[in-house]
A and B are shown apart, each in its own frame.
Chain A
Amino acid sequence: MSTPMSPSASPSRAASLTLAWRFAAFHAEGFPVLPTLILLVLVLTAVFANVIAPSDPEIGTLGERFRPPAWQVGGSEKYLLGTDHLGRDVLSRLIFGARVSMVVGLTAVLFAGAVGTALGILSGFLGGWVDQVIMRVTDTWLALPALTFAIFLAAVVGPSEMNIVIILGAVYWTRYARVIRGEVLSLRERDFVRLAIVAGCSKWTIMRRHILPNVLNSAIVLGTLMLGVVIVTEAALSFLGVGVPPPKPAWGLMLADGKKGLMAGYWWLTVLPGSCIMLMVLSANLLGDWLRVKLDPQLRQL
């Protein structure tokens, strides 16, 4: 019964039509082919980082510091994308950086998603004081600027990959809780939920069997959109030195290290990791945007 909506059918979709969007979203029947390909390549890169990377990302050769990419004067074929201030291979660091971003991004999105979806369902379905408490907390959370909040938490608990995931989850679960609660409020008025009560299902069974599967689409859409936000936040935290701790090749960290070399003309130390972040975030957003139109129950006829 579901008819795929044309992208222009959604007003909010039209609002997100930026120039970059038009440029990057090469569409085939609405499906964002290019963003999906980019994400796929990044995922594969992350999974097979130790196979693809030409050298160790964390050990450099001090004699080979600040080598430009291979095609520039002074470049070497051994370092296709040049080396950094410690003589480490930039390409290898970018490849392993994809792994860091993916692992941190996906786990944080899953963590935030699981917590937010669970609380959103409880809040929307049970109502009453449960709803009051959860929504008060959510509103307070949402009033705090996300990045400042994350920096504060990171400064408190100290930098490690594990902590980053927890911090990102703690900062972003509210986005899910809000959206999912709204959807549960309309779902629980649906006849099949009433009939589940008539059939004798407990509240718990109804939430698990009737509510959860019907909000999963929204959670997935939100997760895809949040992936970009989470990765940018991770990069920002790493850039500020409160994220992934130094020898690890995180893109945000590479950006921070590279910024000193910008004046000296070592552009590859900043432009390359910056582009990687941008590509990943943009791709995730475009895919999420498409999924939203495709899966959003408000837009889709059941």
Chain B
Amino acid sequence: MTLLEVDNLVKHFPVKGGFFTGGGVVRAVDGVSFRIEAGRTVGVVGESGCGKTTTAKVVLGLETPTSGTLRFEGADLQTLDAAGRRRYRRSVQAVFQDPFASLNPRMRVGAIITEPLVVHEQLARGEARERALRLLDVVSLPERSIDLFPHEFSGGQRQRIAIARALALEPKLIVLDEPVSALDVSIRAQILNLLRDLQARLGLAYLFITHDLAAVAYMSHTVAVMYLGKLVEFGPARAVATAPQHPYTRALFAAALPSHPDERREDVTLVGEVPSPLAPPPGCRFHTRCPVVMERCAREEPPLVHTDGRLVACHLYSPTPGVGPWQPQRAAPGSLTSPSFTTGGAP
């Protein structure tokens, strides 16, 4: 069942320029479509500034989209009434990157993790405490944590507190914006395993944002690769990780994962800086850094097309317009319905 459908999402931030430079818009997210199935994980990867957090904020209702639609369980969020929005709020929770900034330093852990409950349900004090203890147990924190303040915990423990809070309302989707990036390497696996356990036990769906390609391959059913506000590749996690198709994805994963010995994979590495989202390059946004750039890349923007069981936006895979009678299937926005995406690969 499709939980969340994001269709052609655009988020532009107007920025004030200097006296002479004039203003502009940061094209943080520029036409992104994907869907999240119930109980599944969509991983989002891409370099810093490509719009991952902005996408997450729009999904969380922290930013209003410039255009595009979000449908939750089939209902367009923009047309929801107050009760519907409230139900959406309950169903979508979040865990953020910095465990030191995401917990109010003046609140006790018990109050922190039951706050969503207290807001949505009129809970008696004793009952809230009961629920808090149960949630602490779910994330394997000792009972006595309930009366402590956040500063008495380590980063990993704080992230457990943040997860307990996100679970309080029994949501259907949790947005994880780099949930382990700020943690010690030794603790990351623990938190990731906890998240996977919780998914198996509670049937949660995750929107898992990360820089860490090994983590995304480990955690996700489906992977979305973003570059400068655009989706460049979207497909089953195993396929994308082991046989990336888009030159950008290839470069990303070549650096991160050892390739299969039977597999021939040219080791491309990324050079140069990500261009500014204030003035993204015309045509394919990746053409300024692409190792296999072609003449048409700077002129034409490649559409997302189905290839090898996934969607890729690159002219290597897109048809040459007007050549021959053969036209491969093009993915219209919002029609990412290839069976391979709904089933996904086992992570």
Where the two chains meet, the residues of A that have a C-beta atom closer than 8 Å to any C-beta of B are: 1-2, 190-192, 194-201, 205, 209-210, 213-214, 302
Contact = CB atoms under 8 A, between A and B. Distances in A.
B151 A1 contact: yes
Contacts of A201: 115, 119
Contacts of A302: 100, 105, 151
A200 B100 contact: no
Nearest to A212: B106
A194 B97 CA distance: 12
A215 B162 CA distance: 23
A1 B89 CA distance: 33
A205 B94 contact: no
Q: Which of A190, A200, A201, A205 has the most CB of B within 10 A?
A: A200
B93 interface: yes
Contacts of B170: none
Interface residues of B, number: 28
Contacts of B106: 213-214
B160 to A, nearest CB: 15
A198 B104 contact: no
Given A191-B96, A205-B119, A302-B151, A198 B89 contact: yes
20 contacts: A191-B96, A191-B97, A191-B101, A192-B101, A192-B103, A194-B94, A194-B96, A196-B104, A198-B92, A198-B94, A199-B89, A200-B90, A200-B119, A200-B120, A209-B107, A209-B115, A213-B107, A214-B104, A302-B100, A302-B105
A192 B119 contact: no
B215 interface: no
Given A192-B103, A205-B119, A214-B105, A199 B151 contact: no
Contacts of A196: 104, 115
Interface in B214-272: none
Given A1-B151, A198-B94, A191 B102 contact: yes
A199 B115 contact: yes
Contacts of B296: none
A14 to B, nearest CB: 28
Interface centre among A194, A198, A210 (most CB of B within 10 A): A198
Given A191-B97, A191-B98, A200-B120, 19 more contacts: A1-B151, A2-B151, A192-B101, A194-B94, A195-B94, A195-B162, A196-B115, A198-B93, A199-B93, A199-B116, A199-B165, A209-B104, A210-B104, A213-B104, A213-B107, A214-B105, A214-B106, A302-B100, A302-B105
B87 to A, nearest CB: 11
Contacts of B120: 200
B86 interface: yes
A194 B104 CA distance: 11
B316 interface: no
B119 A195 contact: no
Given A200-B86, A200-B116, A201-B115, A195 B100 contact: no
A201 B169 CA distance: 13
Contacts of B115: 196, 199, 201, 209
Contacts of B60: 194, 198
A4 B120 CA distance: 40
The 4 A-B pairs at the shortest CB distance, nearest first, are namely A199-B116, A213-B106, A191-B102, A191-B101
B105 A195 contact: no
A279 B274 CA distance: 61
Contact of B62 (A190, A192, A198): A198
Nearest to A196: B115
